[in-house]
Structure 1
Amino acid sequence: MADTNAHVNPPGAEWQPVYIKKGRGAGFWIAVGIASFFFLCTLFLFILFIGSLLLGRAFLGVTPEGKKQIFETIVEGKGEDKIAIVPIKGILTNESGDGLFIEKHSIVEAVKQDLEQATQDSHVKAVILEVNSPGGGITASDVIYNRIMKFKADTQKKVVVYMGDIAASGGYYISAAADAIVAHPTTITGSIGVIMPLINVAELINRYGIKDNSIASGAMKEIGSPFKQMTPEEANILKDIIHELYMQFVTVVSTGRSMDVETVKKLADGRIYTGKQAVEKGLVDRLGYLEDAIHVTRKLSGLSEATVVRYEKPSGLAGMFGLLSRRLFQNTTINLDILQFYEQDSIKPMYLWTGHTINK
């Protein structure tokens, strides 16, 4: 059989072999395409990373001191006088979170910066705290409460709370610092009290022959341990701590709402209330929407008109793009921040309504 790839030499010429190059197969080009795709993806992510490091401060508004610049989004109104809306959303905690390439400040730090901004801006005549929180850490709740009280004392500016979906436990604790409270008709609030989650698995580990060989320096050093049965003495110690923290909560409510301590105690058995029930109990001044909270704030501050602005701080590149898009297409839409998740992996008292779930 003749070879179709054989080389035909011209007549009289010396015969020389010829090697014919075959075309590259489809598999080769598919591999090249896949490799190119992953290379471009890697290059894109690298550029994003470098850009966030080099330009993050400029785009995200980070000051030389490391604080995030606060941007103002106009909600409604006009005039030089301003009412600032400060969002307080999610679990109240001192712990910061991680954003895309950029660390997110804790809620405590965020509220501090917002109130500092409102203090320094002479055009801000009042503040609306937009609370949407089931509470959280006792210390975080108390720090925010005292920040609000200090802001009022130092500036003589009015503070109004507008409750969203939920303002329970620590969320109500910080609300008690306001001059007036407006709750959305569907708000869940109350839950005045303290909780210390304690899980005991002593019987379970004994059933499977597991022994706890922890060595403690004192009889009460292992108080609250999930691996040993709690003694009556240990329970009494923890109850005394819970009662002290409970009375601190009751005192804050009594002072903020001008109510007798015994009256507050009757309401402070940990139960939650609807907005309507809270108004009837004296825990909230009125039901309403954001525009009603703005109206109340104007009235308390003696303002005939004012520009209502919302304080916003972007977190990471996603936050930056979201903020930029809102500033380009600004309207009166109320934008919810991503709720910050609080890790409940430690044994400690909390002003927290545990019936509310925070999604990561």
Structure 2
Amino acid sequence: MSNIWRALPFVGEAKPLVSVIELNGVIGEAGAGRKGMTLKKLEKSLETAFKPNNLKAVALAINSPGGSPVQSRLILRAIRRLAKENEVPVLAFIEDVGASGGYILALAGDEIFADDSSIVGSIGVISGGFGFHDAISRIGVERRVYTAGENKSMLDPFKPEDPEDIDRLERILSELHDQFIGLVKERRGDKLKEDKDLFSGAIWTGPQAVENGLIDDTAQLGEYLRTRFGKDVKVKRISPDSGSLLKRLLSGGDANVSGLSSLIDAEELIAAGERRALWARYGL
């Protein structure tokens, strides 16, 4: 009986299957639309990617300039947990950019690949802002802040910089940088080459990243999967929902949300500028 069923056109050996998770954009929430990748938003997609029984691998299609180090690590750990539980290899493919937190996502892969022209690396930590104390004094505005706790107003942009605040922030950034370096060494191990600039925040193209051990080789996702798993490989792409609160609130055109719309637009504009600045660091 088994031979009869196997002879039917719809029965036979299953084609090799690879789930591809698309990890695109800035990592972490920002603005009223709460755009950006977080573990909460990706969790269902990650679970779905690892579900199929005949799975040969899970591939990560990464295009991210970075963002929240916490969310980056949470996503990485979730992927590694699922890979271990399901005994499925993870292949990471960097597209335009896999930098800073975007490179942390790539570290979830057992093997990492990138295009020749991809931007890879930026193993560092950054904190930026503005100072407005001169501006408000010129227009006659008095800053009034009341706190319980001497460090509660640390780095207030409307007050002159305090050397102690700067020193405290630099210690925090240094600790975060050490954590980032430790994660890279944990995941890449002996593949890393000795390079004084490796953990300086510098960026590299694909071939340069191969040379210093940050990635394994240069390759394009679709072509590589066909070469490794055969031309009949089945690719199942999984794109996490990118809908925003702003779109959901305003899609009905309700006049009652017009005031809220203005508030959201202003906050979203600022958040969009921050996201744009992250991409602009890499010429995109």
TM range (shorter): 0.7 to 0.9
User: Letter of the aligned partner of 2:238 in structure 1?
Assistant: Y
Taking the aligned partners of 1:247 and 1:138, their CA distance within structure 2 comes to 12
Taking the aligned partners of 2:176 and 2:35, their CA distance within structure 1 comes to 29
Asked whether 1:238 is paired with 2:169, we answer yes
Q: CA deviation at 1:171?
A: 0.4
- Alpha-carbon distance change, 341 to 253 in structure 1, aligned in 2, over 3 angstroms: farther
Q: CA deviation at 1:244?
A: 1.1
Judge conservation of contact 1:198–1:224 (CA < 8 Å) in 2: no
Which residue of the other structure, out of 143, 151, 165, is the alignment partner of 1:220? 151
Asked whether 1:203 is paired with 2:165, we answer no
Q: Secondary structure at the match of 1:309?
A: strand
User: Letter of the aligned partner of 1:194 in structure 2?
Assistant: V
User: Letter of the aligned partner of 1:191 in structure 2?
Assistant: S
Partner residue in 1 for 2:281: 355
Asked whether 1:188 is paired with 2:119, we answer yes
Taking the aligned partners of 2:173 and 2:137, their CA distance within structure 1 comes to 29
Alignment of 1:8-27 (within 5 A): none
Q: CA deviation at 1:151?
A: 1.4
User: Letter of the aligned partner of 2:271 in structure 1?
Assistant: E
Taking the aligned partners of 1:87 and 1:151, their CA distance within structure 2 comes to 16
RMSD: 3.3
Partner residue in 2 for 1:82: 17
Deviations 1:158-202 (A, max 9, x none): 001111111111000111121111101111111111111121122
Asked whether 1:310 is paired with 2:241, we answer no
Taking the aligned partners of 1:135 and 1:191, their CA distance within structure 2 comes to 9
Q: Secondary structure at the match of 2:50?
A: helix
Taking the aligned partners of 2:55 and 2:85, their CA distance within structure 1 comes to 14
Q: CA deviation at 1:217?
A: 1.7
**Bigger Cα displacement from structure 2, 168-177 vs 255-264:** 255-264
User: Letter of the aligned partner of 2:125 in structure 1?
Assistant: V
Partner residue in 2 for 1:140: 71
Q: CA deviation at 1:223?
A: 0.6
Taking the aligned partners of 1:218 and 1:243, their CA distance within structure 2 comes to 24
Deviations 1:99-152 (A, max 9, x none): xxxx98955334322221133221222111000010111221111111111112
Asked whether 1:108 is paired with 2:35, we answer no
User: Letter of the aligned partner of 1:139 in structure 2?
Assistant: V
Judge conservation of contact 2:31–2:270 (CA < 8 Å) in 1: no
User: Letter of the aligned partner of 1:256 in structure 2?
Assistant: R
Deviations 1:316-339 (A, max 9, x none): 7xxxxxxxxxxxxxxxxxxxxxxx
Partner residue in 1 for 2:182: 251
Judge conservation of contact 1:118–1:124 (CA < 8 Å) in 2: no
Asked whether 1:173 is paired with 2:99, we answer no
Partner residue in 2 for 1:343: 271
User: Letter of the aligned partner of 1:85 in structure 2?
Assistant: V
- Alpha-carbon distance change, 104 to 248 in structure 1, aligned in 2, over 3 angstroms: closer
- Alpha-carbon distance change, 207 to 201 in structure 1, aligned in 2, over 3 angstroms: same
Deviations 1:240-287 (A, max 9, x none): 111111111111111111149994774111122111211111111111
Larger Rg, first or second structure (1 or 2):
1
The size of the alignment, in residue pairs, is 245
Judge conservation of contact 2:193–2:212 (CA < 8 Å) in 1: no
Taking the aligned partners of 2:178 and 2:136, their CA distance within structure 1 comes to 36
Partner residue in 2 for 1:118: 49
Taking the aligned partners of 2:269 and 2:28, their CA distance within structure 1 comes to 9
Taking the aligned partners of 1:80 and 1:165, their CA distance within structure 2 comes to 30
- Alpha-carbon distance change, 293 to 192 in structure 1, aligned in 2, over 3 angstroms: farther
Q: TM-score, normalised by structure 1?
A: 0.60
